Amino acid sequence: MSDFFMTVLDIVVFIISLGILIIIHELGHLTTAKIFKVYCYEFSIGMGNALYTHKPDPKKGQETAFSIRAFPIGGYVSMAGEDLEDAEGVDKSIVVPHERTIEGISRWKRVIIMFAGVFMNFVLAYILFFINYAAVPQTVAYYSSNEVFVVEDSKASLAGLNNYDAIESIQQDFYYRRADGQYNAQPDETTGLQEVTCYAYETDPENLLDYNKSISSLLSGNLYYVNSENKVDVVNYLPKTEGDKRVITLNYESQDSSDVKTATIETLGEKDGNDLVWGKIGIGTTYDIVHYSFGESFKLAWNQWLTGCSAIFVALAKMFTPTGFSQLGGIVAVFSVSSTAVSIGINAVLYLWGMISVNLAIFNLLPFPGLDGWQILVTIIEGIAFRIKKIKNKNKYNNLTPEEKKAIVAEDELKEAKNKMKYNKIKNIVSYVGLILLIVLAVVLVIKDIINL
């Protein structure tokens, strides 16, 4: 497949996938708003200037315009009662009755409308996970096994290794080329020339024997040893020049014999983009191709959904640390990861966009101005304050005559109207500031992504 075709495919998959996430989210808002009879001026995919707008036909009972806008960083549903009189896409000639505005319905209905987008992204994530498990054969790698998969005609294969041979121990020696073309052994005598075993992905072992469960150290150049505190420690020896050499000595038990055999493999430092890495040796973890039933897929999709939710909370907790921020990515990073997923296959694409959908849902639940979580929180607080005020007013008016009550109620309503105007103004300013900050963050992440490229 040509590079041009792959690039076009990457772009198409990215646009369609991102578009589905945004459309599903905004459809949640639009559908629930329509159910509660809230008048919606516009349903927009993207932000900024409109590239295309389909205006509603009142004769056909249509009310909502549909727009596609320039920047694919989100979308929105503009509803009556959101102080949108000056916003683009709002028909100023339309007079909407108060009961059809977002402010004119019960607060619990408002919360449902605001939460509906998040809910739809949660549902979409689960559906994508389910389709992945139910419809796509899965590659299950056995990371906890010391048996290996050997690539045909690779260095490992030529050294005598076969599929399902069991690695007993690994020794790695690293040699760095001098200016005269000769080699110096790695000078660190503590870790440079000793037998070490493999890294286990899913364990945090206390001794080297626990590392016999997988072979990932062979993929990275990690050298493991027991330090002075009798704990397992690691040094990652990377090549410094393309002539540097890594010698790997493997003791292994063949699948057709109980005798322990030895194989020696050499790799040189080589370029991988701008990085220097050790050359491939042709060893990987053993794996099976598994077809899951519908019942198994439901359970696996649920487990994956829970894993996705917990992972984003961990990421959010680290976001404000230097390490966490360095791992943040914007729209360019998402495109890059999506392109990698496309190169792997449909299962990777479904998994990735399911995780992004979960992330989008939880991110939108954050109580930050401009996000759904902020609107939900403000609405709940308003509802609590309204109830408290109602109880106070009931006690306040108890011992008054009808005439006194009427006068005080009129005075309170006037004060309430003025206070509400000030409150709405402040609330809108806070929301706009939050939205601006989110846009600034998106721009910063795009710049960061481009620099990292």
pLDDT at residue 271 in the model: 84
Residue 106 has pLDDT above 50, yes or no: yes
Which amino acid belongs to residue 84?
L
What are the DSSP calls for 101-137, one per residue? SGGGS-HHHHHHHHHHHHHHHHHHHHHHHHHHHHHS-
Higher-confidence residue: 212 or 281? Answer: 281
The conformation of residue 283, written as its DSSP 8-state character, comes to E
Instruction: Supply φ then ψ for residue 192, to 5 degrees.
Output: -75, -40
The conformation of residue 1, written as its DSSP 8-state character, comes to -
pLDDT at residue 383 in the model: 83
pLDDT at residue 216 in the model: 52
Token pair 């040094």 is found at 235
Q: Using one digit for the tens of pLDDT, what is the confidence trace for 158-193? A: 998 988 888 777 777 777 766 555 555 444 433 333
Closest alpha carbon to 376 in 385, 366, 389: 366
pLDDT at residue 89 in the model: 56
| Beta-strand relationship, 222-226 and 232-236 | antiparallel
Q: Percent helix, strand and coil across the chain, each rounded to 5?
A: 50, 20, 30
On whether the CB atoms of residues 268 and 277 are closer than 8 A, the answer is no
In terms of average pLDDT, the best of 123-137, 208-222, 278-292 is: 123-137
Number of other residues whose CB lies within 10 A of the CB of residue 219: 17
**What's the rounded mean pLDDT across residues 269-288?**
82
Closest alpha carbon to 250 in 197, 304, 329: 197
Q: Using one digit for the tens of pLDDT, what is the confidence trace for 33-73? A: 999 999 988 898 887 788 888 888 888 888 888 988 887 77
pLDDT at residue 116 in the model: 94
**What's the rounded mean pLDDT across residues 226-233?**
68
pLDDT at residue 222 in the model: 63
**What's the rounded mean pLDDT across residues 98-109?**
88
Q: Which residues 6+ apart lie within 8 Å of 17 measured at CB?
A: 338, 349, 353, 356
pLDDT at residue 155 in the model: 92
Residue 246, strand partner residues: 174, 267
Assign 214 a pLDDT band (cuts: 50, 70, 90): very low
Higher-confidence residue: 58 or 452? Answer: 58
* Domain-wise residue ranges, the chain: 148-288
**What's the rounded mean pLDDT across residues 264-291?**
84
Handedness of CA 435, 440, 444, 446 (dihedral sign): positive
Residue 200 has pLDDT above 60, yes or no: no
On whether the CB atoms of residues 372 and 118 are closer than 8 A, the answer is yes
Least-confidence region, from 88-92, 186-190, 281-285, 372-376: 186-190
Q: Using one digit for the tens of pLDDT, what is the confidence trace for 400-447? A: 666 666 666 666 666 666 767 776 777 778 877 887 888 787 787 778
pLDDT at residue 126 in the model: 95
Number of other residues whose CB lies within 10 A of the CB of residue 225: 18
Distance CA 307, CA 304 (A): 5
Residue 205 has pLDDT above 90, yes or no: no
Helix pair 402-452, 331-344: axis angle to 10 deg: 60
Higher-confidence residue: 250 or 119? Answer: 119
Q: Using one digit for the tens of pLDDT, what is the confidence trace for 349-406? A: 999 999 999 988 988 888 888 888 888 998 888 888 877 777 776 666 666 666 666 6
Residue 453 has pLDDT above 80, yes or no: no
Average pLDDT, the chain: 78
What are the DSSP calls for 205-255, one per residue? -SSGGGGGG--THHHHTEEEEE-TTS-EEEEE---SSTT-EEEEEEEEE-T
The conformation of residue 321, written as its DSSP 8-state character, comes to S
pLDDT at residue 84 in the model: 56
**What's the rounded mean pLDDT across residues 329-354?**
87
Q: Using one digit for the tens of pLDDT, what is the confidence trace for 314-334? A: 776 666 666 556 666 778 888
Percent of the chain with pLDDT over 70: 74
Q: How far is CA 380 from the centre of its chain?
A: 28
